[in-house]
Structure 1
Amino acid sequence: MPIQILPPAGAPRVLAAAQLSNSLGDGAYYVTSALYFTRVVGLSPTQIGLALTVAWAIGSVTGVPLGALADRRGPRGTAVLLALATGASVASFLFIRSFVAFLLAACLYAVAQCGLAAARQALLAGLVTPADRTGVLAHLQSTLNAGLAIGAAVGGIALNYDTHEAYLAVFALDAASFLLCALVLLRLPAVPRSAARGKGEPRLAVLRDRPYAVVTALNAVLLLRMPLLSLAIPLWVVDRTGAPSWLVSALFVLNTLAVMAFQVRMARDVDGPRTATRAVRRSGLVMLASCAVFALSAAGLPAWTTVAVLVAGAVLQVIAEMQQSAGSWQISFDLAPTHQVGQYQGFFGTGVPVARTLGPLLLTSLLVVWGVPGWLLLGGIFLAASLAMGPAVRWAERAGSVTQAGQRIESPRPLASEG
C-alpha cells in the first residue's frame, strides 16, 4: 500500500498547506532558538527556562477563552488573527535584548500558539465531516512532521554558519511562515459562528464538564511521551548506555519519518469512540513494552546490541504515539458539543503545555535518577492512563447524548447559526 501524505483536495488540502507553511519556520526555530536566545539576545539558560515555563503556563489557561472566541466570532477569522499574532511575537524576538521584553514576547507567543491550535481545530470541525476528521488530522500530522524536518535542515545550515545574521534570518523566516499561514487560511470558506448561549448556559461550559476534564487529564499523562522523546531519551542514551551519542539524532529522525509515513495508515480504522478508546488502550500496552525495552538498554550489552535495543524501543514508542494521537483526536471531537468545539478543543489542548511544563522534571527524576525502576514505573503510568480512558469516555458519553456520527448534542441548546 503506497504512503499517502497529501490529504484530499479542498479544505483538507488547504489546511495542510497552512500547516506546512508554519511548520517549516517552526522546524528551523526549534533547532536554533536556544543558541539565539543565549548568543544573540544575551540571556542565561535559567532565564530562558523561567520565561518559557511562565509563558506556557499562561498559554495553557488562555486556550479555552480563545477557543470560545473562535466559536462566537468564527474560527477562520480568529485563526487568521492568531496566526498573525504568533508571527508578530516571533518577529519581536528580533529586536528584544532584555529579560523582561523576552518574557512578554514569550507570553504573547505561547498565548497565540495555544489559541491558534484551538481555532484551527474548530475550523477543521466546521469544514470536515465528523467521519473524516481523524483521517484529515492524520494527514495534517504527517504534513507537520515533513515541514519540521525540512525546517530543521534549514536551521542546521544556520547552526553551521553560527553567525548573528544566520540566527536572525531563521527567526525572520519563522515570522514570515506564520504570515503565509494566515494568508493560506484566508482561502478557506468561512464557518458559521455559533449561536448565542442558551439560557443558563455558562460562557465557558467546558470548565464545568467534569468527565471531559478527566479525559483531558488522562490525555495529558499520555502526552508525557513528548518530553520523553525530546529530553529524557537523549539524556538516557548519553548517561546510562554505551551507545554512540549520534544515535540521539538518529532516533529523532526515525520518529519524524515514521509519523510522516505511517500516521495516516494508523488512523484509518479510528472512526468513533469505541475504536478510539481501543487505539488508546493499545498505545498504553505498546508504551509499556517500549519502556521495558529502553530499560534493557542499560544492561551493559555490547555497543551495537545496545543500539539495536534502543532502536527497537524507539520503534515501539512511535507506534504507541501514532495510536494515541489517532485515538485522542477522535475522542476530543466526539465528546465536544457541536456549537462549542473551539473552547472544548482549547481545553483539551492544555494537555500539551502541561506535559511540556511538568514532564521534564518528572521524567528526569524517574529515568535519569531512578534508572531501570523508573522506566518500569513510567510504563505502568502510561498503561494505567490508557486503560482508564475507556471508562472516562463512557462517563462523558452518559453525561450527554451522542449521535451515531459521534457528535454530542446538548438539547435544548441551539447549534450553529447561519449568520
Structure 2
Amino acid sequence: MAFQCQRDCYMKVFVTSVVSCCPAELKQEVNGKKETLKGFNVILQDTVLFPEGGGQPDDRGLIGEAPVLKVTRQGPDAVHFVTSPVEVGQEVRVKVDWERRFDHMQQHSGQHLITALADSMFGYKTTSWDLGRHRSTIELDTQSVKAAQLQELEEAVNEKIRAHIPVNVQLLSLNDPAVEKVRSRGLPEDHAGPIRVVDIEGIDANMCCGTHVKNLSHLQVIKLLGTEKGKKNKTNLIFLAGNRVLKYAEKSYSTERSLVSLLKTGPDEHVQAVDKLQKSFKLLQKTNLSLLRDTAVFIAQNFMNNPERGNFFSLHKKEGDNEFMNIIANEINTEEILVFLTVGEEKGPGLFLLAGPSGQVTELGPQILELLQGKGAGKNGRFQGKANSLAKREEVEALLRQHCKHHSS
C-alpha cells in the first residue's frame, strides 16, 4: 500500500479519519538524557505524514491540534505518536511540517542522482546512505575517490539539475519483467502489495518508499563537500542538496564576517593570519611554561631558605599544572616536610599534590580525596590527582597542619 504522502509528495494538508487510538510510550533523547514520554499511537485511514523508511527520517506535523512526535510503519499501517488522544471515527485534518519534508525530499532525490552518476561514471556502487540533520552521507564501495573525480561528479550532477529532468513514481507488481531492471538493495520482510519505483528519466530507476521531488530542477543545486574514510574499503561521500546549500553559504558568510572583524584581515588572508596567531601562541605558551618552572624553583628555595620555616608547606596558585607542583615538591626536602599544593579555580575544579613522609602521605591521601571530591592515587611519598572542587581546601590545610603539629610534639 502507498500512503497519500507517497502518492503526492507535495500535498501539505489532508483530511482523513481516525481508525484507532491506543495508549503508548515514546523513548526519546532530550539534551543528552533518555526520557520516556507517555502518549497515544494513532492509526489513520491514510496519511500525508511519511513513516521512517528507505534511509529517510519520518515527518513531523499535526493531527488536528496535536503535534506528531514520531511516525513509524507497522506492516501496511503508519503509526503516529501524539501526546493527547484523538477520537476514533472522527475526521481529522493532518498537516505536514513542510520545511522538514521538502528538505528530506531534496536530500533523498539528491542521493538517488549522485548514486546513479557515481555508478555510471566511475563504477562506484552505493552500499548505504544516511540523511543527517545538517549533512548527508553516501557510502561508496571504493577505497578512495580522487579530487578530480569529485569535481567531475559534482559538475555532472548539477548539469542534470539544470536539464529539468522529470522524476516519476511507478507502482509495479512483483512479477512485472520491468522489476528486474530496477536498482534495489532488497525489499523489507513485511512488504506487501505493489513495488514502488522512483524513476529519474533516462538516469535511474530505483525501488524506494521515500518522498521525492517531481523534477530534478527542484533540487536547486548540489554541493559535494568532500569524502571521509569509511568502513573497510569504503568511502563516505558528504553532500548537501537544495536549501541546505543556501544555509551552508549563509552560515559560511556569517563566519567569514566574524573572522574579518576578529582578525582585521580580508577573507583571503584568514588562513595566514590564524597560522601566525597559532605560532605566536605556541611561543607564548613555551615562554609561560619556562617562567612557571622558574617560579616553582624560586617558591621552593625561598621556603627552604627561611630559618623560621616549619614542617609544613602549603600553596595554591590559579595558574599551573602537575609539573609545576612536582618541581616545588622536588626542591623541598619532603622526607621531613609535608607539602600540600593545589592549582586551579579557588572554589572550582583543579589539581592537587600531597608530598611528604611516606607513612603520613599514605594515611592522609584518602582523607584529602574525600574532602576535595577528587580522584587520585599515590606511591613513594606522593599522592596526587584531580579535585572536582577546591572549596574545602582550607579544611584540608587545617587537617594537615593539625597532623604536623601532632607529629612534631
Same fold (TM over 0.5): no
* Greater relative contact order structure (CA < 8 Å, 6+ sep): 1
- TM class, shorter-chain normalised? under 0.3
With the length of structure 1 as denominator, give the TM-score of the two structures.
0.22
More helix per residue: 1
Q: What TM-score comes out, normalization by structure 2 length? A: 0.22
